[in-house]
Structure 1
Amino acid sequence: MAPRSIIKGALLSALALSAPVTAQVAEQVSSTSGAGVPLFTSETLQLTEDALASLNPNQSVLFQFGNSTNSSLSARSISGCKVYPGDFFWPSKLVWSLLDKFLGGALIKTVPLAASCYSSWDEYDADTCASITDDWTNSNLHAADSASVMWPLFEGRTCLPTTNASASCTVGGYSSYAVNVSTVAQIQLAVNFARNAGIRLVVKNTGHDFNGKSTGAGALGIWTHHLKEIDYIENYKSKSYQGPAVKMGAGVQAFEIYEKANELGFSVVGGEGKTVGVAGGYVLGGGHSPLSSIYGLAADQVLALEVVLANGRFVTVTEESDPDLFWAIRGGGGGTFGIVTSVISRVHPKVGVTVTTFSFSTGTDVSADTFWAGVRSYMERFPAHADAGTYAYFWILNTGTDSFEFLMNPFFAVNHTLAEYTALVQPWYDELADLGISITPNSTYYDNFYDAWSAGFPLETVASSVMMTGSRLFPRANWESDSLFNSTFDALRSTISEGYVLLAFNLKAELVDGYPSNSANPAFRNTLLHAITSTSWDSDATNAEILEKMDYLTNDVLGQWRATCPDSGAYMSESDIQEPDFQQAFYGSNYARLYKLKQLYDPTNLFYAPTAVGSENWEVKSADGLPDQNGRLCRV
């Protein structure tokens, strides 16, 4: 429950809310930043003490900054649950109206994307429903919505496309409202409002996270998707770096920064997926990349960040200004320590890439054992390929009884000409030929990263409500022991033979010498294989049947994987939400320090996300009994 004195002020203020709002609640400030690079225009419009002083007391109490007095009061008072729609203390329509006025009309009351399919909604329209249904698996559709996420299982599957117009559609696990952010002041107003009113707060950029971190029933969402500014910096200077860099707004997506990098002749470490938000939760969670085998994780590239903290203050975070937060926020997970409005990251020279696709499968001349001998031959070469700086994205599918298919889609050989790539993989090709496995590689050299990436990686297919994923980072040690390699290979073969798909990346992500350390999962530093699998169920499966499938994936399928490398971990952004001991799996030896810093920077527990640092102190009282965000958020 939020502090009664604050909520009382909020409710009493409703008496005066019908009067016109004349006070200016944001001020234009200097563009000077502690990062040594000017603030973006969006960052120069901020909430200030002077702006708050211009409000009447009943209004300002809703938006005051956190401090040692009211922060400690909130921490003591929030002993139960976040304020939820329908509660006595849930803000009235007049209070939401006041917030919207101060936000400049940027507050969006959530309407689920598929509401047009349901006759109970004013948005009901058969043509619109058909269009939404056709585009439902397109990641651009969900990225461009203020509340929708890529994996509706974790929202609670409350309003999916349907041909049954009389079915029920509720807001469910989507945020109740969202702020379409264009300025720092809007983030500060929303952060202060949510903290002072005891409302759940979530942050959404594109909604790519596999575990639904950017959704939550009864929440106020901060939607950073439109913070798209990009500035190239020819010579950036910091404590540990001098050279070219780029400043990106939090809403910049992979295709946007890659286009700009190609235009200006540099390369940048970003995601494989086209619509991933590079400067959002991706980089804050570590962020593996087609360039990781050479340059490390996306979090390793970050030189400075502009951040709104849980107390509503806007700060610049650098290695010099705040080494603890600089360490924690780079890899410690999004929606945890603050809301990032921009990052400054180092960039790299233009690179050429050879991109190759091919496949092979069982058949008349290729038995199952021969097929797996070909796969084993490939896996044995993971250290050599990663050490050469390459990144491979491949699938292995079970297509029937003793029937399998391998898809290389693609092998992404950075800094390799066609001849150099061929020399690297020829020993494997020769061994496949000796096994009687025929392949027809389609290989093309591109003189720049952008064209190679565009050709190599398709648009993501998302929004399945009948599947759940899980993953593991397999360490180099599993290739340095015959017994460990055998157990790794056997575990993966067993998974696929049992009918599960393998989607995997051969890469490494070591911290480059001279780069400042960060809180990214230590397991990434030793990995050679990031492997993902999934389970699925029928669309009419009961919640109990779904949970049984999920539990089997977590405990039995992924249990085999964990057994081969129990001290390793998993990539939090592409993981199993039920991962046992998520603290060790996603954060490793960094967790104790991260947890301590979480209490320091967010003493009122404003920021919550599933499997985030400190999330073990909270639980979602899910409406369906599944591990989703469709329910009240309460302290454990």
Structure 2
Amino acid sequence: MLQIAPLLAWTTLAAAASSLDHWNALNSSVGGRLYVGIPLARPCFELADTAGSTNATQCEAVRNGWTNSLFLVDQFGAFMNTQWGSCQKTSKSCLIHGFNVSDPSPSDAPNVCEQGSVPSFYIDVRNASDVQAAFTFSRRTGVPLVVKNTGHDYKGRNSAPGSLALWTHNLRSLSYNASFVPAGCHISKVKPGVTMGAGTIFNDVVAFAEANNITVLTGAETSVGASGGWLMGGGHGALSNTLGLGVDRVLEFKIVTPDGSFLTANECQNTDLFWALRGGGGGTFGVVLESTTLASPKMSLQVAFAAFSPNNTNATRGFYEVLAENSLRWAEQGFGGYIGPSQAIYVTPKLNSSETAATMQPLFAYMKSLAPNDPGVQFFAVEVPSYGAFFDKFITGAPVGENAVIASRFIPAANFANKTSRATLVDALMQTLAHVTYSLGIMVTTPFNVPDDGSTSVTEAWRTSIWSAIAEGAWDGATPLANETAAYTGISNAANFLRAITPDAAYQNEADVYEPNHKVSFWGTHYPRLLKIKHKYDPDNLLMCWHCVGYDPKSPRFSCYI
């Protein structure tokens, strides 16, 4: 039997559920897998207004794993960007120093571990009936629901104060069918497909693909869920230029909708839902338990790498100028990759080694010009035998275990079209970089060579863009939360230099919390149709998240946003 009486001091959730009997009934219906949500750093605190207890051994494990995404992904109370476990508006949190994890002062008295926005309870989801029970419970009691998978979310959509979470991370199945036919479809629809549980992470997908001599598109952080919000929000990766977005490649979803139905959505049944899930965003139309995605043959890749010393800031403008001048050609040649202020990684499956060396000559020549005065200069082109080899050697992922805020903008082909437009773009990049508090990242992952055939619901701007530029800010997890408004506003303002020269378009999974026109930015002309489908499958709005389709900014579940 679930024991929640001691928790009444720190949550009103039991009152919202009317009685302990409701909670015990829910716990029974999900096989005893209803648990109390405990902030990750709770074992390090002597004083707490949460469940859990002080434990030196557990605290040491938390400190050692605080900046390791593969550790965090296995902890329900962990969030890759730590502010989303806090109630930012009230400064209630349970955090240690992300920049100095061994410092005991944030967890020492008189500091108190508080629940913040960590969901008060969660179900360790293992099957459809668990989700169906949660929907019934929420409808009956009014307790808000959130969907949490791996903890990767730049906009806090996987947490809310006083909520019940559906934790899908332990749905980790993986299988390959070289002759997959979507349910209800004719045999002519047969394609090679990999079926992945919602919690399956990129690390596992890449290793599985290598073992089966296939290629499966992923993003650049090892612990992101391949069937979760990454996929339903669009899903970009280094090979998206030629293979498309994740939503271009998905063949089928298995989903529980808020009315309790367990549905299969593909191009032959529940087609409206299939369209919505291919870009409409996660945690919105239902809870996806698994997806099947197209598998491509194993392929060799050409990789070009260039870098100079990060403190050689005088080289950045020239670096951007070379990239801007050549990016249209490189996009047509299938190059994707990642750019920082002092580094670029490009990869393509379309060229051979001599063609790659020739087309990258302008970039390598610039690196060579820097080399006499910069010992940090590196540049080379190399062939790797597979996407897995590229992933293991070149993908490092994003920093975790600290507060982070971002704002992004698609940079379309028009900004690279001529000398004047390129100069304007470089000026905007330099202005943005001057106003960020961490870095400026550029994703060269837009599906430039994959046309929009109308089967997905992402913004049409994906198809005409060359870059997705991301302004990034970060601050320590134990920094006073009163400073956070300035951090969010500052990064949003930094992105305004790029907003001024581009159409209204951004990637919803890597977007500004204050995105000024999110319906158009994320979905272009598709929002009205998405909202209609949302009302069809979730008329009671049981699933609601920040800047998701149908969200209400006045909802109490957003009371901790600033």
For this structure pair, what is the TM-score category when the shorter chain's length is used for normalisation? 0.7 to 0.9
1:236 aligns with 2:189: no
- Could you tell me how far apart the structure 2 residues matched to 1:227 and 1:367 are? 45
Secondary structure of the 1:517 match is coil
Q: Percent identity?
A: 28
Per-residue deviation, 1:91:
4.2
Per-residue deviation, 1:543:
4.5
Distance of aligned partners of 1:103 and 1:362 in 2 relative to their CA distance in 1, 3 Å threshold: closer
Secondary structure of the 1:354 match is strand
TM-score (norm 1): 0.78
- CA deviations on 1:310-364 (whole Å, 9 max, x unpaired) are 111101112121221111111100000011111121111111123343312488x
Gaps of 5+ in 1: 1-16, 19-83, 397-405, 628-636
Paired position in structure 2 for 1:9: none
The number of residues matched between the two structures is: 529
Paired position in structure 2 for 1:179: 123
Pairing partner for 2:362 from 427, 435, 438:
427
Paired position in structure 1 for 2:327: 382
Paired position in structure 2 for 1:573: 509
Secondary structure of the 1:358 match is strand
- Could you tell me how far apart the structure 1 residues matched to 2:129 and 2:309 are? 56
Per-residue deviation, 1:269:
1.4
- Could you tell me how far apart the structure 2 residues matched to 1:412 and 1:458 are? 15
1:246 aligns with 2:194: yes
- Could you tell me how far apart the structure 2 residues matched to 1:488 and 1:431 are? 19
Contact 2:325 2:416 in 1 (8 A): yes
1:95-134 to structure 2, matched below 5 A, reads 95-120=22-47, 122-134=52-64
Secondary structure of the 2:70 match is helix
Report the AA paired with residue 297 of structure 1.
Answer: L
Secondary structure of the 1:316 match is strand
Distance of aligned partners of 1:561 and 1:516 in 2 relative to their CA distance in 1, 3 Å threshold: closer
Paired position in structure 2 for 1:263: 211
- Could you tell me how far apart the structure 1 residues matched to 2:559 and 2:551 are? 19
Paired position in structure 1 for 2:279: 331
TM-score (norm 2): 0.88
Contact 2:232 2:279 in 1 (8 A): yes
Secondary structure of the 2:289 match is strand
Report the AA paired with residue 387 of structure 1.
Answer: E
Distance of aligned partners of 1:612 and 1:153 in 2 relative to their CA distance in 1, 3 Å threshold: same
Report the AA paired with residue 613 of structure 1.
Answer: V
Contact 1:474 1:568 in 2 (8 A): no
Pairing partner for 1:154 from 47, 69, 84:
84
1:616 aligns with 2:552: yes
Contact 2:82 2:477 in 1 (8 A): no
- CA deviations on 1:441-463 (whole Å, 9 max, x unpaired) are 24442211112111111254212
Paired position in structure 2 for 1:314: 262
Pairing partner for 1:605 from 523, 537, 541:
541
- CA deviations on 1:133-185 (whole Å, 9 max, x unpaired) are 22111112221122422112233261112533321112220111111111111
Paired position in structure 1 for 2:464: 526
Per-residue deviation, 1:190:
1.4
Deviates more, 1:254-263 or 1:489-498: 489-498
Paired position in structure 2 for 1:165: 108
Report the AA paired with residue 118 of structure 1.
Answer: F
Paired position in structure 1 for 2:6: none
Report the AA paired with residue 553 of structure 1.
Answer: I
- Could you tell me how far apart the structure 2 residues matched to 1:611 and 1:265 are? 39
Report the AA paired with residue 455 of structure 2.
Answer: S
- Could you tell me how far apart the structure 2 residues matched to 1:151 and 1:301 are? 29
Task: Output the aligned Cα RMSD.
Answer: 2.6
Pairing partner for 1:412 from 342, 347, 353:
347
Paired position in structure 2 for 1:394: 339
Contact 2:80 2:153 in 1 (8 A): yes
Contact 1:138 1:460 in 2 (8 A): no
Deviates more, 1:226-235 or 1:545-554: 545-554
Paired position in structure 1 for 2:8: none
Distance of aligned partners of 1:476 and 1:236 in 2 relative to their CA distance in 1, 3 Å threshold: same
Report the AA paired with residue 223 of structure 1.
Answer: W
Deviates more, 1:158-167 or 1:311-320: 158-167
- Could you tell me how far apart the structure 1 residues matched to 2:126 and 2:14 are? 30
Paired position in structure 2 for 1:453: 391
1:586 aligns with 2:522: yes
1:510-549 to structure 2, matched below 5 A, reads 510=448, 512=450, 517-536=455-474, 543-549=481-487
1:350 aligns with 2:298: yes
Per-residue deviation, 1:235:
1.7
Contact 1:112 1:148 in 2 (8 A): yes
1:473 aligns with 2:410: yes
1:53-72 to structure 2, matched below 5 A, reads none
Secondary structure of the 2:338 match is strand
Per-residue deviation, 1:619:
3.3
Secondary structure of the 1:337 match is coil
- CA deviations on 1:465-485 (whole Å, 9 max, x unpaired) are 2x3111111111111244432
Gaps of 5+ in 2: 3-10, 88-92, 97-103
Deviates more, 1:262-271 or 1:430-439: 430-439
Secondary structure of the 1:189 match is helix
Secondary structure of the 2:12 match is coil
- Could you tell me how far apart the structure 1 residues matched to 2:120 and 2:163 are? 5
- Could you tell me how far apart the structure 2 residues matched to 1:482 and 1:311 are? 55
Contact 2:458 2:524 in 1 (8 A): no
